[in-house]
Structure 1
Amino acid sequence: MATAAKTGLELRYEKIKDKIGARVLNPKEELLTGELSPAILDLMEEVGVVVFPELHLTDAEQVQFSNSLGGNADELAGQNQDQVFKVSLDEGKQQKNVVEYLKGSLFWHIDGTMNPIPIRASMLSAQVLAPEGGDTLFANTASSYADLPEDRKAKLEGLRVVHSLWCSGFYHTPEPTLEQLEDWQSKGEAEIPLVVTTAAGKKSLVLGNTAHYIPGMDMKESQRILHGLRDFATSEPYVYRHVWKVGDTVMWDNRTSLHKATPYDPYCGRMMHRTIIKGGEAWEVKKG
């Protein structure tokens, strides 16, 4: 167990699975001191997904907790004064264009693939649950990359991927209007390595529904590689399914975690509150 030097607080946790996930057992009062934040970040780096069962954070406490872990990043338009983004697919509770963006959450994705500096982590707290469905699946793209055969890793070396919002849009809206398509395409795209390496030397796959194609490669082969890697990274040893309880908070390493929600009725009232933690490291770490 990791111990905070100033107060002697100890981070208490249990591993969920060998390849992904840990459950923190400390009470809310200890977590909000900030003394355990370095140990929590180290744990997240190791396991990808950290679960805080039934913390019942208020919005202000969630912001405080996020700030202690590296600071809140700017959210989507429509955030409230508490810097907490309300995740809902109900157009009666959320702007229509935001709901369209959130439909992509039902498919495997990594947040911020088109940002030069991705967010460090996301934090989600359960407010209202869906009567059926609405679990969240996580997949560790660092542990899955580590388990690839060495010859396959060698073939991935140097490959790059173009990520785009308009690619992800076809997952939930296969027949968009021209207006929708032009709106998606206006959000731009980015080319980043297929295998990213952190400053600490950890490697992970960057995949998901924004991964469009590998430049310079036959499109059929490009799709076989991307979909094959996604299948591998989201196979049993590397996946954790979180079945929510009201008050649960889950945080995940955005650089090494694919995630998606399981299907649910968008008008059932399901509501999650999200904060995101600032990143300080670009997808491509410059050498030298």
Structure 2
Amino acid sequence: MATAVSSRWEVVDVAPKIGSAIHTDKATLLSGERAKDIREIMERRGVIVFPEINLTDDEQIAFTHTLGTFAHEDGEGAKDGKDSVYPITMDSSINPIADYLKGAFFWHLDGTMSEKPILASIMSARALAPVGGETDFCNTYAAWDELPADEKAQVEDLKVTHAMWRSQLYWKPEPTIAELEAWMARGANTLPLVWKHRSGRQSLVLGATALEVEGMGTVESEKLLVKLRTWATQPQFSYRHTWKLGDMVLWDNTGTMHRALPYDHKSGRLMMRTKLEGEEAFA
């Protein structure tokens, strides 16, 4: 007969409108008995920190499975036919496409090139930079909720073209034509500016891949996108996580944006990431 897990479980909010820390132990997480609670907190708070939980790669994979369907995207999450963690590092000897990850230093959500983006990411700290490397998060649900009513009315039905190449120009504004064409080969995707979730909640869809608002001139489009990004990333909607070794952070990719803060790319900073498969298309 199975024995119920009885262990530490303490939930503390880390910022007013985003983020909670759960103080618990490995056995509780790996049992799956708190999976429903974790998913509820993730949707409500956007970000969950598990301070210094120190899961191994295999334990992180097992924990990911307790929360939903393990995501395998563009070569991530699978190795030799088995689920695996994905290394987030600027060391190209560990991750051959490290340059692509440089877009992560700017506000974004993952999956804007997809019809159905990933539900969530889970990332653990294996090695840290001496200076920098924090991760910022902002709550795009809360940002929408508190947008003035007249501004909501102006933007709620707008659509935005997103393109991967736009985000790459943030870190390399003068690419070669070969680089630009390779980025552009990823195509573009038109998404609602305001995501009307099946839960009834709404969130802003912004970030570094946002190229242009449909039906709006280039100048006015850029002004609107920058204005809304500035709004959504204000301190009251944001949380900055300063990593400690062994920390694991889970975030709702459908209701937040995130970015890494700069650090020395030769520092050896290494994060291991897993993802949950998307459960809802942009709408």
TM-score over 0.5 for the alignment?
A: yes
Give matches, 1:7-156, under 5 Å.
11-77=9-75, 79-80=78-79, 81-95=82-96, 98-156=97-155
Q: Report SS of the residue matched to 1:111.
A: coil
Q: CA deviation at 1:25?
A: 1.3
Per-residue CA deviations over 1:246-275 (Å, capped at 9, x if unaligned) read: 000001000111101110111110000000
Residues in 1 aligned to 2:131 and 2:156: alpha-carbon distance in whole angstroms: 42
Q: Report SS of the residue matched to 2:31.
A: coil
Does the aligned pair in 2 maintain the 1:11–1:36 contact within 8 Å? Answer: no
Give the aligned residue type for 1:224.
K
Q: Report SS of the residue matched to 1:24.
A: strand
Residues in 2 aligned to 1:194 and 1:157: alpha-carbon distance in whole angstroms: 7
Residues in 1 aligned to 2:92 and 2:21: alpha-carbon distance in whole angstroms: 33
Q: CA deviation at 1:102?
A: 0.2
Number of matched residues? 277
TM-score by length of 1: 0.93
Identity of aligned residues (%): 43
For residue 3 of structure 1, what is the aligned residue in structure 2?
none
Residues in 2 aligned to 1:39 and 1:12: alpha-carbon distance in whole angstroms: 12
Does the aligned pair in 2 maintain the 1:75–1:85 contact within 8 Å? Answer: no
Residues in 2 aligned to 1:11 and 1:188: alpha-carbon distance in whole angstroms: 45
Q: RMSD in angstroms over aligned alpha carbons?
A: 1.4
Per-residue CA deviations over 1:93-132 (Å, capped at 9, x if unaligned) read: 221xx21210001111100011111100000000000011
2:165 is aligned with 1:169: no
Does the aligned pair in 2 maintain the 1:9–1:36 contact within 8 Å? Answer: no
Residues in 1 aligned to 2:83 and 2:115: alpha-carbon distance in whole angstroms: 26
Does the aligned pair in 1 maintain the 2:48–2:250 contact within 8 Å? Answer: yes
Per-residue CA deviations over 1:18-65 (Å, capped at 9, x if unaligned) read: 110000012121111001011100001101000000110111110111
Residues in 2 aligned to 1:12 and 1:94: alpha-carbon distance in whole angstroms: 36
Q: Report SS of the residue matched to 1:117.
A: coil
Shift of the 7–272 alpha-carbon distance from structure 1 to 2, 3 Å rule, reads: closer
Residues in 2 aligned to 1:132 and 1:10: alpha-carbon distance in whole angstroms: 32
Q: Report SS of the residue matched to 2:114.
A: coil
Per-residue CA deviations over 1:149-187 (Å, capped at 9, x if unaligned) read: 111101012100111011111100000000000000000
Q: Report SS of the residue matched to 1:273.
A: strand
Q: Report SS of the residue matched to 1:32.
A: helix
Q: CA deviation at 1:11?
A: 4.9
Q: CA deviation at 1:71?
A: 2.0
For residue 233 of structure 1, what is the aligned residue in structure 2?
232
Q: Report SS of the residue matched to 2:150.
A: helix
For residue 183 of structure 1, what is the aligned residue in structure 2?
182
Q: CA deviation at 1:10?
A: 8.1
Structure 1 portions without partners, runs of 5+: 1-5
